[in-house]
Amino acid sequence: MDIERLQDTIEYHFKNPSLLVHAMTHSSWSNERHTGHLGSNERLEFLGDAVLELSSSRFFYEKFPDLPEGELTKMRASFVCEPALSYCAEEIPLSDYLLLGKGEEQTGGRQRASVISDAMEALIGALYIDGGFEPADSFIKKYILNDIEGKQFFYDAKTNLQEEVQKDGGKDLVYTMISEEGPDHNKLFTCAVLLDGTEIGRGTGKSKKNAEQNAAYMALRMKKTERKQS
């Protein structure tokens, strides 16, 4: 992993670069090296999740002074959910820097939204520990709290996709489970969404509901790309 390149990209150089390495270390990597849960980025992810919630809450509170609490909550959810964070990470692109175990690598972990979004939160946690709230907040604003209009569809993607389909004439939208992998305590589900029998999106998640939401998001993203090209 090219630590210097990643630091140049995010425009922050760590006083303790090992924190950045830790943030990029997936549990599959630490498990293969028998370093246990302390060797993975899971604790940093836990901290980063809290920092992200505070930063985004303050951002939307100040930016939209007239919105009620319910609308602010819905808007924040659009930006801090798994597919949104994975999408935001592509700009870096963060997946290039992940340390994954061989099994996770071979099964597509580097492109898995859950893995990438966890690494984004872990990176935020590492920034907070290394430099305090300011660098973490700056990173969040630069890579996550941007393109507000374009990212709002991340919230409840299934509902948004259904509305989009109805605009096109109310065609038949069906979600189907493709696969279920992993032990009971750490399942990974893959789901496809079909429009009139044709697959228009596929997503993975730690629950069936999450996989369906991610599949719907991928379909929405494809529709957005098609509109830009037309």
Active site residues: 49, 121
219 and 225 Cβ atoms separated by less than 8 Å: no
Give the residue from 60, 93, 53 showing the smallest Cα distance to 75. 60
